[in-house]
Amino acid sequence: MTATAPSRAPEGSFPTGFRFGAATAAYQIEGAAREDGRGESIWDRFCTLPGAVANGDTGDVACDHYHRWEEDLDLLSALGLESYRFSIAWPRVQPDGRGALNAKGVAFYRRLVEALLERGIEPVATLYHWDLPQARQLAGGWAVRETASYFAEYAAAMAGALGDVVEGWVTHNEPWVVAFLGHAHGVKAPGVRDWRTALTVSHNLLVSHGLAVDALRAGSDAPVGITLNLTPMRPVAPKDVAAAVRLDGHQNRWFLDPVLRGTYPEDMVEHYERRFGTLGFGELEVIARPIDFLGVNYYNPAAVRAARRVAPLEAELVTARPPTTAMGWTVDAEGLHEVLTRLRRDYGDLTIYITENGAAFDDERATDGTIEDPSRVAYLADHIEAVRRAIADGVDIRRYYAWSLLDNFEWEHGYEKRFGIVGVDFGTQVRTVKRSGLWYRDYIAGVRGGAA
């Protein structure tokens, strides 16, 4: 690896205990979809639906991380990363999503976590990053309350199997995506298109989070949190303010309020009940179990316009203006600072982990094999600087995870969208640290007072 541009943050500009890391998710990197007793997940099934995923791609092989995990942990070490957020595939450790554990699956995560600890890297495990066992889906999936109880059993089993070595737990990753992209828009597994179902799913996911908090605490002393994807909603014009408040309610407050205040936002309950009838969601005290940190995934802000014809929210997102990423998402680091300071203003003193932040770009490999990705370097530099400013403004932020360690299976976009700070050639599985990975390594070294 060669040297890169100097880091911007002076030594000591992050508080003691702050850690830099990278994040991944099981289905996006592991592969080995039918090996060692792993059960089928809703994503395995979704990928078989014609037209569901770009190019008919699947997670069958992905980054082959299940076999190459040691090499991948060596990359984490080489980059000087201090924490690693990965996810446990529920169907790998409990193939039917209930009952007996799969010893080989559990052993895989045990080896992974122990090897992280040997390398001095903090292991932070996410329990649910979208790969529900298909057997649970056949029994009603997240639309039935029973699935929340099974999730709590799974959480208890993981606390029992890994609670002595995992150093942080995330119950759910982005429940908004699971509920609404998976059950209202149908663009993600399980591909359902029904808003009323999506609302029930959002509630059952939140209940399952609270139940899992209890289960994890019973078997592990590690901090527990939930990860929400938060997006500043910006009205295009003054006439769009109400629509932006509604989309903020739909995506951000619908999850923040029950978890942190024990209530659903009244404006949204009214809005939904006018269209779908009484919701009658209970168990708010379970959802609001105290957590040790809030995980925040931030990628971009959104521009919102009122649109009466777009049911049920009567609002729409406006195509982003450049600069944008390969996903078409606006590049705007100020939005991250806005999210972080808003959390403190509206929800009080929370401990925050930035559990994902990053960007997809159409990287080009030079003839010598190197990958120069200046746009991603700039994205990371500007967003980490926004984190630093939020800390200086009094927000308690303890972790920053770049999304992602590796180029990987980007859900319905298949392998076309590359988010990695390490490039993956999916033909050969060769990993190449991109310029952004080198920059991140040197930045961390600079903050720690080492040679950049």
Residue number with CB closer to ligand IFM (38 or 417):
417
- Is position 63 an interface residue for ligand IFM (rule: CB under 6 A)? no
Instruction: Tell which residue, 397, 356, 381, has the closest CA to residue 446.
Output: 381
Task: Report, in Å, the least distance between residue 176 CB and ligand IFM.
Answer: 10
Task: Report, in Å, the least distance between residue 282 CB and ligand IFM.
Answer: 29
Binding mask 167-206 for ligand IFM (x = CB under 6 A): -------x--------------------------------
Q: Are 245 and 267 in contact (CB under 8 A)?
A: yes
Binding mask 261-300 for ligand IFM (x = CB under 6 A): ------------------------------------x---
- Is position 240 an interface residue for ligand IFM (rule: CB under 6 A)? no
- Is position 442 an interface residue for ligand IFM (rule: CB under 6 A)? no
Can you tell me which of 240, 257, 356, 442 binds ligand IFM, judged by CB under 6 A? 356
Binding positions for ligand IFM, 390-409, rule CB under 6 A: 403
How many residues bind ligand IFM (CB under 6 A)? The answer is 8
Position 92: which residue type?
Answer: R
Query: In b/e form, how buried is each residue of 418-429, taking b as 16+ CB within 10 angstroms?
Result: bbbbbbbebeeb
Can you tell me which of 44, 131, 410, 442 binds ligand IFM, judged by CB under 6 A? 410
Neighbouring C-beta atoms of residue 393, cutoff 10 Å: 11
d(CA 218, CA 156): 8
d(CA 225, CA 209): 9
Residue 385 annotated among the catalytic residues of the structure? no
Catalytic residue among 30, 356, 410, 412: 356
Task: Report, in Å, the least distance between residue 25 CB and ligand IFM.
Answer: 5
Can you tell me which of 25, 216, 259, 438 binds ligand IFM, judged by CB under 6 A? 25
Residue number with CB closer to ligand IFM (82 or 412):
412
Catalytic residue among 40, 82, 174, 412: 174
Residue 356 annotated among the catalytic residues of the structure? yes
In order of 4, 165, 254, the CA distances from 1 in angstroms are: 9, 31, 45
Q: Is 145 exposed, middle or buried (0-12, 13-18, 19+ CB in 10 A)?
A: middle
Residue number with CB closer to ligand IFM (157 or 296):
296
Edge-to-edge order in the sheet of strand 233-235: 233-235, 302-306, 315-317
Task: Report, in Å, the least distance between residue 299 CB and ligand IFM.
Answer: 6
Residue number with CB closer to ligand IFM (293 or 419):
419
What is the DSSP track for 102-136? -HHHHHHHHHHHHHHHHTT-EEEEEEESS--BHHH
Instruction: Tell which residue, 137, 39, 129, has the closest CA to residue 93.
Output: 39
d(CA 223, CA 295): 11
Q: Which residues are at the interface with ligand IFM (CB under 6 A)?
A: 25, 28, 174, 297, 356, 403, 410, 419
Active site residues: 174, 356
